[in-house]
Amino acid sequence: MSQTFRIGTRGSPLALWQAHRVRDGLIEAWGLAPDAVEIVVIRTTGDAIQDRPLSEAGGKGLFVKEIDEALLDGRVDLSVHSAKDLPTALAEGTELAATLPRADVRDVLIGGSAPTLDALREGAVVGTASLRRGALVRRRRPDLKVVTFRGNVHSRLEKLASGEVDATLLALAGLTRLGLERHATEIMDAETFPPALGQGAIAVTARAGDAATREALAKLDCPATAAALICERAFLTVLDGSCRTPIAGLARVNGDTLSFRGMVLSVDGARAVEATREGAASDAAALGAAAGEDVRSRAPADLLAAFG
């Protein structure tokens, strides 16, 4: 392969790590010269907004819009994303081209004043920007105070160190990629504290119909992770999950079998409606969609109202 590739990415440390992973993968898989794969950092609207919750500013799409534009303009050939930050509706003219092998899907607690969620004192303050994490925290510890907490992983750790909050929650995958997993004081159980759809997976998008880029990326694709992600995104699509909706779930693929469990919660965590499905991994999309329909048919009206 004598082709060159330009990879579009956000400039956060986590995004750069993930883009480098794809770059290294392409170079190694195809024996490319190091200068054949270039990383192009693109600043997104989401990166610029730091003073308010993104759900108020327009949601997850804010992190991909400018990158999609670069892809469609031909300024870059592929873009690398944390799968959980990728909106369910991809920009027209772009498509999922590869899903890297999934890392640990679990969240971790980083405790300042106590090491575990159960050990935090009554009324302790937990900082998170995630409605899902907030709802799951309140579900187990209704006495805790959940406050909105944005910024990248490093700035969150600083706020914790300064005592602004007693604890925060982050994805183990992200912390590990940044070499910061030593800060985790409790690994949350994926059953009782289910992750975000797509958590721990890295997704690569390309221009629809760009066969050469797709073929190059095929060597990096993990079919089991791809099936899990397709299932989880189908669940999210049916529920039209937005940043205003506490929603969680996980597909596990074992051989040819896929098992999925997804749930929607009330913001205060007091109520949850969940569904499970198991079937052939090749039916990933149908299984996720069926679980989504199931949740939608049983969720109380006020819970679904959050879906707008």
Q: Which residues are catalytic?
A: 85
Residue 13 burial (10 A CB sphere; 0-12, 13-18, 19+): middle
Which of 171, 206, 250, 275 binds ligand PBG (CB under 6 A)? It is 171
Which of 168, 199, 213, 266 binds ligand PBG (CB under 6 A)? It is 199
Stretch that binds ligand PBG, among 20-28, 78-86, 113-121, 160-168 (CB under 6 A): 78-86
Stretch that binds ligand PBG, among 81-89, 222-230, 268-276, 287-295 (CB under 6 A): 81-89
82 binds ligand PBG (CB under 6 A): yes
Q: What is the chain's length?
A: 308
**Binding residue count for ligand PBG, defined by CB under 6 A:** 9
84 binds ligand PBG (CB under 6 A): yes
Give the Cα separation of 298 and 304 in Å (integer). Answer: 10
Give the Cα separation of 133 and 267 in Å (integer). Answer: 10
Nearest to 244 by CA among 79, 119, 86, 60: 60
79 binds ligand PBG (CB under 6 A): no
Tokens describing residue 167: 């604890």
> Minimum distance from CB of 298 to ligand PBG (Å)?
28
Give the Cα separation of 228 and 35 in Å (integer). Answer: 33
> Minimum distance from CB of 25 to ligand PBG (Å)?
16
The values of phi and psi at residue 94, to 5°, are -120, 155
210 binds ligand PBG (CB under 6 A): no
Stretch that binds ligand PBG, among 20-28, 82-90, 114-122, 261-269 (CB under 6 A): 82-90
> Minimum distance from CB of 294 to ligand PBG (Å)?
25
Which of 25, 61, 111, 200 binds ligand PBG (CB under 6 A)? It is 200
What residue ranges in the chain does DSSP mark as E strands? 5-9, 37-41, 78-82, 94-99, 107-111, 125-127, 145-147, 167-171, 186-187, 202-207, 247-254, 257-265, 272-280
188 binds ligand PBG (CB under 6 A): no
Instruction: Give the CA distances from residue 32 to residues 1, 97, 99, 210, 262, in Å, rounded to whole numbers and listed in that order.
Output: 7, 19, 20, 19, 41
Instruction: Give the CA distances from residue 240 to residues 236, 265, 307, in Å, rounded to whole numbers and listed in that order.
Output: 6, 14, 6
How far separated are the first and last CA of the chain, in Å rounded? 48
Over the window 122 to 161, marking each residue x when it contacts ligand PBG by CB under 6 A and - when it does not, the resulting string is ----------------------------------------
φ/ψ bin of 225: left (φ > 0), alpha (ψ from -120 to 50), beta (otherwise): alpha
Nearer to ligand PBG, 173 or 224 (CB): 173
Q: State the residue number with the nearest CB to ligand PBG.
A: 174
Which of 170, 229, 231, 275 binds ligand PBG (CB under 6 A)? It is 170
173 binds ligand PBG (CB under 6 A): yes
> Minimum distance from CB of 174 to ligand PBG (Å)?
3
For residue 12, give the 3-state DSSP assignment. coil
Interface contacts to ligand PBG, rule CB under 6 A: 82, 84-85, 170-171, 173-174, 199-200
